[in-house]
């Protein structure tokens, strides 16, 4: 098994890279999705979030109002830290479960774990995951803000605030084994991913 951690700041192109690696044959696990599963309707995680943040972060059907909660936590570092304390251990548990299951199906699988907050959670996971390779998607923050504004309809202020709640580009680069430059065209990004895959799976 080869276990790859794929990280990068918001809108850096992790999903683009992860999707391509999956097309090429990797097993893809997405921490953002696991974080959604951790607070799905009926979970202990959602009860804890509602206890801490109140009914205003729930929709009328009882599910999480993500925009409302985002509006609270990305403006309040202490609240964000508390949310992380509720959600991250469950994300880690679910990720371990998925990795173990994928390994059982195919001991030689290449597993890609897409995790936006790798640098931010290094202490929490200590020796939990033994990455064979850390891949970092890298594009300048200003360009990522423009992507969030033009492609996701966010305001420049909200986009900048999300970035300011994350590690810096330099901190991510410092833990990278491989940096994928995602500042050019998508075709350029995909060509770098294909080259990485060839290196990982080609003859040694
Ligand atoms: C606050 C929430 C409800 C906002 O939901 P929303 O649908 O707007 O965003 P989504 O979850 O799709 O995240 C989009 C991006 O925001 C950034 N982001 C999300 N959570 C965090 C966080 N705790 N700290 C810094 N950046 C974050 C990441 O780059 C992520 O890829 C949600 O982000 C959340 O529950 N966050 C806490 C869990 C978490 O840390 N998730 C990240 C992966 S473990
Ligand atoms: N060179 C490039 N490489 C990757 N994505 C690019 C590139 N140029 C433009 N994009 C666009 O930028 C956006 C990047 O979003 P993507 O979902 O891949 O990032 P992400 O890192 O997974 O984001 P998030 O942290 O929000 O989950 C996509 O809409 C993609 O089409």
Per DSSP bridges, beta strands 2-8 and 27-30 are unpaired
Atom of ligand 1 nearest to the CA of 66: 3
What are the extents of the domains in the chain?
2-199
- Averaged pLDDT score across all residues of the chain: 95
- Decide: helix, strand or coil at residue 171: helix
Q: What class, spelled out in words, does domain 2-199 have in CATH?
A: alpha beta
15 in ligand 2 pocket by Cβ < 6 Å?
yes
Please tell me whether the overall predicted TM-score, pTM, comes out greater than 0.80 for this model.
Answer: yes
Q: Give the percent of the chain with pLDDT over 90.
A: 93
ipTM reported for the complex, 2 dp: 0.96
Question: Going by CA atoms, what residue is nearest to atom 23 of ligand 2?
Answer: 11
Check if the beta carbon of residue 181 is closer than 8 Å to that of residue 138: yes
User: Ligand 1: distance of its center to the CA of 86 in Å?
Assistant: 13
- Is the per-residue pLDDT at 125 higher than 80? no
Per-residue pLDDT at 66: 97
- Is the per-residue pLDDT at 85 higher than 90? yes
- Would you say the C-alpha torsion 16, 20, 21, 26 has a positive or negative sign? positive
Instruction: Give the 3-state secondary structure percentages of the chain, helix then strand then coil, rounded to 5.
Output: 60, 15, 30
User: Which pair of structure tokens corresponds to residue 135?
Assistant: 């891949």
Check if the beta carbon of residue 80 is closer than 8 Å to that of residue 165: yes
Between 204 and 144, residue with greater pLDDT: 144
Check if the beta carbon of residue 95 is closer than 8 Å to that of residue 89: no
User: Ligand 2: distance of its center to the CA of 9 in Å?
Assistant: 10
- Cite the annotated binding site for ATP by residue number: 11-16
35 in ligand 2 pocket by Cβ < 6 Å?
no
At 83, give phi and psi (nearest 5°).
-60, -45
Across 130-148, average pLDDT: 96
Per-residue pLDDT band at 176 (split at 50, 70, 90) = very high
């Amino acid at each position: 098994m080869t276990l790859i951690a794929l990280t990068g700041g918001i809108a850096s192109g992790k999903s683009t890279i992860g999707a391509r690696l999956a097309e090429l044959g990797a097993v893809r696990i997405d921490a953002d999705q696991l974080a959604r599963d951790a607070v799905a309707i009926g979970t202990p995680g959602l009860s804890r979030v509602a206890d801490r943040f109140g009914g205003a972060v729930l929709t009328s059907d009882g599910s999480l109002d993500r925009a409302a909660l985002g509006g609270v936590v990305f403006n309040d570092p202490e609240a964000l830290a508390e949310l992380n304390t509720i959600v991250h251990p469950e994300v880690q548990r679910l990720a371990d479960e998925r990795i173990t299951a994928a390994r059982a199906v195919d001991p030689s699988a290449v597993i890609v774990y897409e995790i936006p907050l790798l640098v931010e959670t290094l202490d929490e996971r200590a020796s939990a995951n033994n990455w064979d390779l850390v891949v970092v998607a890298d594009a300048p923050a200003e360009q990522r803000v423009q992507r969030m504004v033009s492609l996701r309809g966010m305001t420049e202020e909200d986009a900048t605030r999300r970035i300011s709640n994350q590690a810096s580009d330099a901190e991510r680069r410092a833990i990278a084994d491989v940096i994928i430059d995602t500042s050019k065209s998508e075709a350029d990004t995909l060509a770098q991913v294909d080259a990485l895959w060839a290196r990982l799976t080609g003859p040694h």
